[in-house]
Amino acid sequence: MNPFDFPSAVDDKATRARAVERARANGVRLPTFAELAEPWTVSADATGGLEAVDPDAPDARNLYRVNWFNDLSRAKRAAVPVHIELPSAFTGVPARIVVALGALFPMIRAHKVLAAYACLAPRLVSGRFDPVKQRAVWPSTGNYCRGGVAISRILGCRGVAVLPAGMSQERFDWLDKWVSSPDDIVRTPGTESNVKEIYDACADLERDPGNAILNQFSEFANYLGHWRCTGPALGAAFEAVAEKNRGGRLAGYVSASGSAGTLAAGDYLKGKYGAKIAVVEAVECPTLLMNGYGEHNIQGIGDKHVPLIHNVMNTDVVIGVSDKATDGLNAVFNTEVGRQYLAARLGIAPQLAQMLGYIGFSGIANILGAIKMAKKLRLTDNDYVVTVATDGHELYASELSHYLKRRHNLGDMTRELAAELTGEHLLGADTDWMIEATGFDRERIFNLGYFTWVEQQGISVADFDRRKRQDFWTGLHALVPQWDEMITAFNRDSGMATAA
Ligand SMILES: Cc1ncc(COP(=O)(O)O)c(C=O)c1O
């Protein structure tokens, strides 16, 4: 499907009718984007009994937890997105760094389920996806495809995960339990940065009309889902912290990029608060910084290309973080010895030490990116930088023991190693591997996308170039209320308008 051919009306009535019937049969009421952004607006009729539903169950009511307002139990709603405010003793910078937690999202314990829902819903309600005849194919490095498989299962259609064979074991364990057939897990060669191989597998699958590819790297719905939901949620977290601290300004937003969906929140935050947008990538695969390539272990990011939905010309800072730092700090943050060291040496409260478990590899990269940004821009204690932890440590527990064994020949963390890793990677975070992007830098990065999207993936030059202008991106916003109207009409027709 051409990603610029946005669904904006019902294109195929017969397909939509089958989708409506399937939703009715499975008791699925689809949330609108507005309801995901502002879950308190959902009527009690629609979400009655939600608190009793297991957040990890394939239950249609869990669609109403696909938002940033789940509390730490993941069962109830929080007034403000749950976040961690990192103290200066921990970050080494006066600026205040605020991290929102993606691990509280339902079913997959990562916010990528929001991207998956955002990509499928407009297709479903416009009759462009047939849940009866088609399989939904989710190309990913692990979390988006899990989100897609969860959404597919709720909708009663088959979902296919396409991901590199080298991703963490925890991702495969989860998929084994959720897919309807082992054939619905397609393992592609390589690890994190082998996205070209994922595209090749999808091109093969797409030859069969029974497969619908939902490519997060080029679906503007991924961009819009984060712009509409993640942006305002992070704004709310910032405002709550700023109010507590008597004011201040939102100086920056930091997000590592995989599909660049999460980065879209930056467009919202820049528009509302003037925050600068920083993108993080792995030093070992410095594609945006220097057209580079390579392998790394910051799972979920840095895919050796510039996604079609990355608004490059609105990106202000590019930051490289090494996977040596994320692997090392993952071991400090998630071992008893490491946490004790942080408490003794940096005065970190036990409660905060506990919360570090909510931060996976890319979340650690984002925190280091925020620290580097604060140093480079000389941010003060009046400045805030917000960022996200897409998932938590639980998805990488197997990586920790490999790391200690492989890199340090140790079975367990020691105090000496914790001190070394904290000193080198946390307190020692510097301003190397960073650019404050000039117009020239932005164009260089923008142009790099040409080779993927025009040469390999068949996007026209005119469409590719349209994305250079900001009015292209702001023009997309009008799609969201249209999609919401179509979702509402779909729920009416399925008889699920007031019940979930
Ligand atoms: C753990 C993790 N972090 C970060 C990202 C990047 O997010 P995005 O694809 O929205 O850029 C992903 C994407 O799958 C991820 O799984």
Residue-wise pLDDT for 261-316, tens only, equals 999 999 999 999 999 999 999 999 999 999 999 989 999 897 789 999 999 999 99
Which numbered atom of ligand 1 lies nearest the CA of 260?
A: 11
Among 113, 171, 301, which is best to mutate for testing ligand 1, by the most ligand atoms less than 8 A from CB?
A: 301
Point out the ligand 1 atom lying closest to the alpha carbon of residue 360. Answer: 1
* Residue 318 Cα to chain centre, angstroms: 18
How large a percentage of the chain has pLDDT more than 90? 88
Ligand 1 centre to CA of 367 (Å) is 14
As for ligand 1, residues whose beta carbon falls within 6 Å of it are: 110, 112, 140-144, 256-263, 299-301, 360, 362, 390-391
Question: What is the C-alpha separation between 425 and 363, in angstroms, rounded?
Answer: 14
Confidence of residue 500 (pLDDT cuts 50, 70, 90): very low
Q: What is the number of structural domains in the chain?
A: 1
**Measured between alpha carbons, how far is 339 from 478 in angstroms, rounded to an integer?**
47
Q: In this predicted structure, what is the pLDDT of residue 226?
A: 98
Strands of the sheet containing 83-86, edge to edge, are: 83-86, 96-101, 383-389, 249-256, 276-282, 317-321, 434-436
Closest approach atom of ligand 1 to CA 217:
9
* Average pLDDT over every residue of 221-227: 98
CATH code of the domain containing 26: 3.40.50.1100
Task: For residue 146, report the distance from its CA to the centre of ligand 1, in Å.
Answer: 12
Instruction: Supply the pLDDT for residue 499.
Output: 54
Mean pLDDT taken over the chain: 95
Residue 391 CA: which ligand 1 atom is closest? 1
Q: Rounded to the nearest whole angstrom, what is the distance from the C-alpha of residue 111 to the centroid of ligand 1?
A: 8
* Nearest residue (CA) to ligand 1, atom 4: 300
Which of 105, 109, 112, 114 has most ligand 1 atoms within 8 Å of CB, for mutation? Answer: 112
Query: What gap in Å lies between CA 431 and CA 476, rounded to an integer?
Result: 35
Distance 262 CA to ligand 1 centre (A): 7
Residue nearest to atom 14 of ligand 1 (CA): 300
pLDDT digits (tens, 9 = 90+) for 116-151: 999 999 999 999 999 999 999 999 988 999 999 999
Q: Look up the pTM and report it.
A: 0.97
Tell me which residue has its CA closest to atom 3 in ligand 1.
Answer: 300
Residue 416 lies in domain:
1-500
Q: Does residue 459 surpass a pLDDT of 60?
A: yes
Calculate how far, in angstroms, residue 258's C-alpha sits from the geometric centre of ligand 1.
Answer: 5
C-alpha span between 249 and 267 (Å, rounded): 16
CA distance 126 to 115: 18
Provide the pLDDT confidence category of residue 193 given band limits of 50, 70 and 90.
Answer: confident
The pLDDT of residue 185 is above 90? yes
Above 80 in pLDDT, residue 410?
no
The residue contributing the CA closest to ligand 1 atom 13 is 300
- Quick: pLDDT tens for 51-98: 999 999 999 999 999 999 999 999 999 999 999 999 999 999 999 999
Q: From atom 7 of ligand 1, which residue's Cα is the shortest distance away?
A: 258
Q: For ligand 1, what atom is nearest to the CA of residue 261?
A: 10
Residue 344 CA, ligand 1 centroid: distance in Å: 33
What is the C-alpha to C-alpha distance for residues 467 and 442, in angstroms, rounded to an integer? Answer: 12
Q: Which of 146, 228, 253, 259 to mutate to test the pocket of ligand 1 (most atoms within 8 A of CB)?
A: 259
Residue whose CA lies nearest to ligand 1 atom number 15? 300
Give the Å distance between the CA of 308 and the centre of ligand 1.
15
Question: 261 CA to middle of ligand 1, Å?
Answer: 8
- Closest atom, ligand 1, to C-alpha of 140: 14
> Taking residues 325-339, what's their average pLDDT?
96
